[in-house]
Amino acid sequence: MATIAEPVPMPRREPAGALTGDLQVRRLVIAHVWVAVVAFAVACLLGVWQMWARSPIEAPAHTAANYFRSVTLHGVSMAFVLTTFFIMGFGYFVAETALKRPVPGLKLAWAAFWMGIAGVLMAALSVVSGRASVLYTFYPPLTATAWFYIGLVLVVVASWIWCLLMIVAMRSWKAANPGQAVPLAMFGTVANAVMWLWTTVGVAAELLFQVIPAALGLNGMVDVGLSRTLFSWTLHAIVYFWLFPSYIAFYTMAPRAAGGRLYSDTMGRLAFILFLLYSLPVGLHHLFMDPEHSNGFKFLQMFLTALVSVPTFLTVFTIAASLEVAGRMRGGTGTFGWIRALPWDRPMVLATGLAFFMLFWGGGGGLVNMSYGMNAMVHNTSWVTAHFHLIFGGTVVIMYFAIAYAMWPMLTGRAFPSMKPLLTQLWLWFIGMMVMTLPWHWTGLQGQWRRIAAFDYSDPLIASWGPWVIVSLVGGIILAVSALMFVWNLVVLHRSSSPRAPVTDVPYAEAVHPPGRLPASLNGFGLWNVIVAVLMLLAYGYPIAQFFIDPPPQAVVHRLH
Amino acid sequence: MAEPAYPMTRHDYADDAAELERLEAALEGGPKGAVAVSLIAVALLMVGWLGIYFLVFLPRGTVG
Amino acid sequence: MAVNEQAILKSEVRWAWVVAGIVAVILGAILFAALSMHVNPPSNREFVDPKTLHLSAEFTEENLGTRIDPDGRIVARVIATQFEFVPNCIILPAQRDVTLRFATPDVIHGILVTGTNVNTMVVPGYVAQVHTQFTKTGDLLMPCHEFCGLGHTQMIATVKVVPPDQFRPDASGRASCGDDR
């Protein structure tokens, strides 16, 4: 390894920062996580039934109405409820444990929680009643009951309150600690909050100006191209909103769990900033197959999409290097020996390894999707379903498991009696996800299309997919078992039979070189907000303006209830 | 419910000279392992992407 | 410490160059396909009013299906509507330049043709258009691939791709799948 002449002073190390007493956000975090977990478990069971319905094996209660009701509930629960509530809960946890000070505005946080609950109930009841089977991506001019959309708006407004609380928490910490680097976990959390405020502008505009007026009967016509464009504004960055906690865990929790150091704190900050910049001006890649946008803007956003792969590639290296440090500290040698030396019996380490493996497949599928003309080969086929289940289930949710397992002892004051059920649950999730999604890639390439309630297996091509659909169903069953095990693993720590063992260790890794004084650009988001604004103007300015400059004919609103 | 107390430290690691020595030794050995793993991963990724591009996508004909 | 921060950042920068190389290769291949082989997304800002689609010059009933246009192009016109395609079978020759044009009077639909790169969304307000050459013959499935309502599942059509010598339009330039459909 190269050495540079100028010696760098050794960072001064002080005694471990033990935390005593209960966290002030304890109940708040537990409440948020449990809402997320319940939505997740319901959605997993619905998912299994959906795959059963599409398989050659006859499923109970199989009607088109039930199927689309189920798909809507599955999508809304996973994409809006599980994620939003988990991210908010994790954010409060990080704000108190990483900044080591009480989170401001706890009353407001609880108000946001209850607003979110009200919204979830409104949306869920609308879907269950069969008056909102429009899937979680809406598809105007199809129109559900207004309660569905208003419920979702309440969830989003609740998340905005969270965003503001996170920003305020970071600002007041900076005021109290002038010149110091914001701890990386909080820097990532606030990057996510800032990004989410930008992200939700698109869907909020679509709902407030187009969809809700149509649902209330104020508007009989809707500009579909505009609504698709506004939704696309949200549709890519929302995935990074879900992913951020996973990346925060990769950078700040996994290296600590492995017993090492974060290789580079600067790269962590850079990755978070790149996510903020490049996950927004790329949404048109969801509309490659749409007629309403020119190839020029599709090409521009394809180029920017390629750039959003950069922070992920950088993360792969930085985290591999961090784990390598840990493996070598544990006695691993050689080019690959450090991998075996890692403590794979710790949930955070195992989840990180499995997440990267699934990210390889999900990200690889994504590279095909984003490839402009090549998107025609896979658009709206099972290939895409496989891609986003690997990203969502494989990278997002498996890290949520690991984060929950890391937080739970601190929140409940009890220790897991054994790590075995946790590790088994993670392995089952991984196996189930691979078994479910690999066949989807294969059938998707042959043209198996998405979002239908059943396949007609009398057609020879569709019949040839049958066995693969059954393999996927088996994967889904394994996933559902894993999901229920996850619920049980969390329940166990609430039971008084589990050993009381208050955890005082803050679970964040220190960097090999802890950051000293940072330039303002690596310690805040002022500059980056300006750049996001410029990029969004460039990427979305004309594509949105064209609907007003040269308005296309509108579509008649179609009520689904 | 006990009031939380936050220690006024910046670093969460024990000041352990032996551990720092191991850290230095670990850094001396790297990051060749991370480079190797990352290179293998992206090489496989490129092989997969190019394979689908040449073997599946292009033979299916032009569209536009 | 012997390994200082500059050395770490240097290894990160070296890796960033590898990443830049990968991104460049992918972008290069896509650009090559777009520029030299004309593989592009089916962008087509051509308006058609969903409310008066059936009165439009182009998508009236007698114009639907495959025909050879006055300029010699082979064009198939299809209406996608809740919950069927009209017509539900189109015939097209392999190895010839063909154009598929779709429009909808109601909600969002989308089509793909199995085993080909033919894929487009059908958005109310626009004519969706795909130019292609089919490379293989046979009865290919053309399902609606975008959720369009509770009957979405049953919305499926056939593209009958025949060898060029078996593609025999009638005197008026029209070709249909035949009576068996």
Active site residue A548: no
Nearest beta carbon to residue A10 from set C1, C141, C146: C1
Q: What chains are in contact with B, requiring at least 3 Cβ pairs below 8 Å?
A: A, C
B18-60 residue pLDDT tens: 888 888 888 988 799 999 999 999 999 999 999 999 999 999 9
Closest-CA distance, B52 to chain A, in angstroms, reads 8
Single out the residue of C80, C131, C130 nearest to residue C108, CA to CA: C80
Name, in order, each residue with C-beta under 8 angstroms of A444's C-beta and a sequence gap of 6 or more. A378, A381, A382, A383, A384, A385, A386
Closest-CA distance, B9 to chain A, in angstroms, reads 6
Partners of A310 on chain C (C-beta within 8 Å) are 16, 19-20, 23
Active site residue A236: yes
Active site residue A285: no
Give CA separation, A23 vs A3, A29, A172, A398, A547, in Å: 43, 10, 19, 25, 50
pLDDT at A15 over 60: no
Quick one: pLDDT band at residue A40, thresholds 50, 70, 90?
very high
Quick one: pLDDT band at residue B4, thresholds 50, 70, 90?
low
C63-76 residue pLDDT tens: 999 999 999 999 99
Name, in order, each residue with C-beta under 8 angstroms of A462's C-beta and a sequence gap of 6 or more. A448, A455, A456, C141
pLDDT at A9 over 60: no
* Confidence (pLDDT) at A17: 47
- Given CB atoms, is B47 within the 8 Å cutoff of chain C? no
Asked if the Cβ–Cβ distance from C117 to B38 is below 8 Å, we say: no
* Confidence (pLDDT) at B5: 62
Asked if the Cβ–Cβ distance from B26 to A363 is below 8 Å, we say: no
* Confidence (pLDDT) at A421: 97
* Confidence (pLDDT) at C82: 95
Partners of B6 on chain A (C-beta within 8 Å) are 17, 19, 100-101
Nearest beta carbon to residue A316 from set B29, B36, B41: B41
Active site residue A451: yes
Quick one: pLDDT band at residue B62, thresholds 50, 70, 90?
confident
- Given CB atoms, is C125 within the 8 Å cutoff of chain A? yes
pLDDT at A1 over 50: no
Residue in chain C lying closest to B39 (CA): C18
Best mutation site among A329, A380, A464, A465 for testing chain C: the one with the most C CBs within 10 Å? Answer: A380
Quick one: pLDDT band at residue B13, thresholds 50, 70, 90?
low
> A190 by DSSP, 3-state: which?
helix
Compute the distance between CA of residue A352 and CA of residue A430 in angstroms, rounded to an integer. 11
Q: Give A204: exposed, middle or buried? Use CB within 10 Å, 0-12, 13-18, 19+.
A: middle
| Contact in structure between C92 and C159 (CB atoms under 8 Å) | yes
Give CA separation, A508 vs A101, A164, A184, in Å: 15, 23, 9
What is the pTM (predicted TM-score) of this model? 0.94
Question: CA torsion A69→A72→A77→A78, rounded to 10°?
Answer: 130
Average pLDDT over residues A176-193: 96
Main-chain phi, psi angles of A94, to 5 degrees: -65, -45
Asked if the Cβ–Cβ distance from A514 to B10 is below 8 Å, we say: yes
User: Which is the catalytic residue, given A148, A250, A388, A400?
Assistant: A388
The gap from C-alpha A400 to its chain's centroid, in whole angstroms, comes to 9
Helices of type H across A22-177 = 26-54, 64-76, 83-99, 106-128, 146-176
Which pair of structure tokens corresponds to residue A301? 């956003």
- Mean pLDDT of the residues in chain B: 81
User: Which is the catalytic residue, given A286, A389, A414, A441?
Assistant: A389
Average pLDDT over residues A303-315: 93
Asked if the Cβ–Cβ distance from A512 to C8 is below 8 Å, we say: yes
Asked if the Cβ–Cβ distance from C15 to A317 is below 8 Å, we say: yes
Q: What chains are in contact with C, requiring at least 3 Cβ pairs below 8 Å?
A: A, B
A223-254 residue pLDDT tens: 999 999 999 999 999 999 999 999 999 999 99
Give CA separation, C40 vs A201, A374, A544, C37, C121, in Å: 30, 8, 21, 9, 14
A98-126 residue pLDDT tens: 999 999 999 999 999 999 999 999 999 99
Tell me what ipTM this predicted complex has. Answer: 0.95
Q: What is the full DSSP assignment across A69-110?
A: HHHHHHHHIIIIIIHHHHHHHHHHHHHHHHHTSPPS-HHHHH
Spans in chain C with pLDDT lower than 50? 180-181
pLDDT at A183 over 90: yes
Partners of B41 on chain C (C-beta within 8 Å) are none
Closest-CA distance, A501 to chain B, in angstroms, reads 14
Asked if the Cβ–Cβ distance from B61 to C116 is below 8 Å, we say: yes
Closest-CA distance, B30 to chain A, in angstroms, reads 7
Compute the distance between CA of residue A10 and CA of residue A166 in angstroms, rounded to an integer. 32
Partners of A333 on chain B (C-beta within 8 Å) are 29
Q: Exposure pattern of A139-168 as b/e (b: 16+ CB <10 Å)?
A: bbbbbbbbbbbbbbbbbbebbebbbebbbb
